[in-house]
Amino acid sequence: MNKDQFEQMAHKYDHPDRIHLAQIIAQATNQLLNHTTYHSLLDYGGGTGLVTLNIDHHFEQVTLMDASTQMVNIFDEKISALEKTSIQTLVGDILADDHPLNQSTYDAIFLSLVLLHSGDYKALLHKLYTHLNPGVMCILVDFDKNENVQHPKVYNGFKQSDILETFAQIGLSQTQAYTFYAGDHLFMNQHASIFIASGFK
C-alpha cells in the first residue's frame, strides 16, 4: 500500500468524480445490505469516508480504519461536523504487526477499492476474516481485471472467480460476486468495470 501517496493527495481526494463513484458504490452496497441492521461495521481502508457516510445507517457502530493519517483526519472533521457519535476512526495497516484492531471483531467488514493497493490481497482478506463475527458478512468492491492497466504498485483489478475462490479458502460461504457499474476513465484513465463480492462467515 502506497501510504505516502495517499497522505499527499488526502486534501484533494474528495473530487466530484470520486464523490459520484462513491455514491454509486454505496447504492450497490445498500442494495446488498437490503434494509438489514447490524451492530458493528469495520470499513477497512475507508479513506475520507465517501462511501462510509452513505452506508452507516445500517449499523449501530462504525469503525473506519485507514493507513493514511491525513485521510482519517479529514474524515474525523466530517463526523465531528455531522455530530456522528456512533463512528470512530483508527489509523493503521492490518498487515503490520502493530495494527490497532487487537482482538476487536465486527458484524460486517467492508472494503471499497482497497484490494488493488494491498500488495497481498489474499493475506489481507485472511487477516480481516479473523476480525469478523460468526454468521455475518464481508463485502468488498473493486475493479474487474483490466489488461489495459499496468502499474508496478497496484493490482490491475481482479477476476471475480479468484476473489470467490479466496473467500472459500478463508472460510466464507454463501459467496457471490457481480459487476454493477462500468465507465470511462475509471481506473488509471481507462474504461473499467467494478464488481461487488460478499460472503458470510
Please report the pLDDT score of residue 98 as a whole number: 84
Residues forming beta bridges with residue 142, ordered by sequence position: 195
Every domain of the chain and the residues it spans: 3-144+156-184
| Model pTM score | 0.92
Cα dihedral across residues 128, 129, 130, 135: positive or negative: positive
Count of Cβ atoms closer than 10 Å to residue 23 Cβ: 12
Residues forming beta bridges with residue 90, ordered by sequence position: 65
93 contacts 69 by C-beta, under 8 angstroms: no
Q: Can you give the pLDDT of all 201 residues of the chain as single tens digits?
A: 455 565 555 565 667 888 999 999 999 999 999 878 899 999 999 999 999 999 999 999 999 999 999 999 999 999 999 999 999 999 999 999 888 998 999 999 999 999 998 989 999 999 999 999 999 999 999 999 998 888 878 899 999 999 999 999 999 999 999 999 999 999 988 999 999 999 999
Q: For helices 121-129 and 160-170, what crossing angle results, to 10°?
A: 40
Please report the pLDDT score of residue 6 as a whole number: 54
Give domain 3-144+156-184's CATH architecture. 3-Layer(aba) Sandwich (3.40)
Please report the pLDDT score of residue 4 as a whole number: 58
Please report the pLDDT score of residue 10 as a whole number: 55
